[in-house]
């Protein structure tokens, strides 16, 4: 199998930047939605409407069912079910946008194990810069989050990494151009049953009453989860992972807390002191190192 590009094209750099901007600002949008709708029900709505009506006119990708099932379960119940649950009361949006970036290292580790990918010293140096920025931010967080909240978001990050690897496996086994939008839509079907079970088991039948009292802001937040975050965000992210190694794509997600904290400052009035700006600068420097100096890929 021929090696894939080690540097992103200008178009793909723009696409990666757009995805992380959408995902970063979405933590504030999720918080708005959770004010009216319980977390597992909110996630259920997201993935139900990511599947329907789109699967009615998007042909099923020619990939084994197991990849659709695994991607839907990891992404739906694993990543977003857990993330929404933690954001309800156990972690702040800014810190959640930071902790979820553990997926970068989970993804690179899983890809190295499964695909035989290996990163260079340049990539490690860039990642170290970015981690230093995240550590600076993390060292100044307030007491608005709980240890259980951080643990839950770490589990969500691992689930995201597993979903990334599943998308790469599915695309690698496709003989033609892989339809990422259709893949995300069809996989969303399989996020619905576990999220429905969690809704009934943890939130109960009474949770459905929240839908009757939810206002326009809550429904707009739910719609944005479908259109912006799932159909655009994960289709585009999976497309990038199918073209490049995880070590090239995944570090871009380190920009998410920069957008997340910026959106929190703008919309929720959270302070943006010098240490936050310094941490964001380090993250940007790490991303720039990785993107402009590239990585190489080696197989066992």
| Token pair recorded at residue 96 | 């959640």
Q: What is the model's pLDDT at position 193? A: 97
| pLDDT, tens digit, 9 for 90 and up, residues 176-193 | 677 888 999 999 999 999
User: For the chain, what is the mean pLDDT?
Assistant: 86
pLDDT, residue 143, reads 64
pLDDT at 2: 55
**pTM for the whole thing?**
0.84
Instruction: Place 297 in a pLDDT band, splitting at 50, 70 and 90.
Output: very low
Overall average pLDDT of the 24-52 stretch: 95
Which of 24-33, 176-185, 263-272 is modeled with the greatest confidence? Answer: 24-33
pLDDT tops 80 at residue 195: yes
Asked whether residue 44 carries a pLDDT value surpassing 70, the answer given is: yes
- Confidence tier at 127 by pLDDT (50, 70, 90): confident
- The more confidently predicted of residues 62 and 68 is 68
In 3D, which of 163, 139, 195 has the Cα closest to residue 71?
163
- Given a cut of 70, whether residue 26 has pLDDT beyond it is yes
Strands (E), the chain: none
CA distance 171 to 245: 12
What pLDDT sits at residue 144?
A: 67
Q: Tell me how far apart the alpha carbons of residues 151 and 130 are, in angstroms, rounded to a whole number.
A: 21
The three-state secondary structure class of 204 is coil
Task: Kindly give, in sequence order, each residue whose CB lies less than 8 Å from that of residue 296, ignoring residues fewer than 6 positions away.
Answer: 3, 6, 118, 120
Question: What is the per-residue pLDDT across 210-223, written as a single tens digit (0 to 9) for each?
Answer: 998 899 999 999 99
Helix (H/G/I), strand (E/B), else coil: 51: helix
């Amino acid at each position: 199998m021929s090696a894939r590009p080690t540097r992103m094209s200008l178009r793909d750099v723009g696409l990666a930047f757009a995805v992380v901007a959408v995902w970063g600002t979405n933590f504030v949008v999720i918080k708005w939605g959770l004010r009216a709708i319980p977390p597992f029900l909110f996630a259920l709505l997201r993935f139900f409407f990511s599947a329907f009506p789109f699967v009615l006119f998007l042909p099923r990708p020619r990939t084994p069912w197991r990849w659709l099932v695994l991607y839907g379960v990891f992404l739906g119940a694993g990543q977003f079910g857990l993330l929404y649950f933690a954001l309800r009361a156990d972690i702040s949006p800014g810190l959640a946008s930071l902790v979820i970036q553990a997926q970068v290292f989970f993804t690179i580790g899983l890809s190295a194990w499964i695909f035989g990918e290996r990163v260079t010293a340049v990539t490690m140096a860039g990642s170290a810069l970015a981690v230093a920025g995240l550590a600076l931010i993390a060292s100044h967080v307030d007491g608005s989050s709980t240890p259980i909240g951080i643990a839950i978001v770490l589990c969500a990050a691992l689930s995201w990494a597993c979903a990334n690897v599943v998308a790469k496996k599915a695309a690698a086994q496709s003989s033609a151009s892989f339809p990422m939008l259709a893949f995300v839509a069809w996989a969303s079907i399989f996020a619905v049953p576990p999220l429905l079970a969690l809704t009934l088991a943890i939130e109960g039948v009474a949770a459905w009453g929240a839908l009757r009292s939810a206002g326009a802001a809550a429904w707009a937040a739910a719609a944005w989860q479908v259109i912006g975050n799932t159909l655009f965000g994960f289709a585009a992210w999976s497309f990038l992972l199918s073209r490049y190694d995880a070590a090239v794509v995944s570090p871009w997600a380190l920009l998410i807390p920069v957008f997340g904290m910026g959106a929190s400052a703008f919309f929720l009035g959270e302070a943006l002191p010098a240490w936050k700006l310094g941490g964001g600068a380090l993250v940007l420097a790490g991303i720039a190192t990785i993107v402009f100096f590239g990585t190489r890929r080696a197989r066992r």
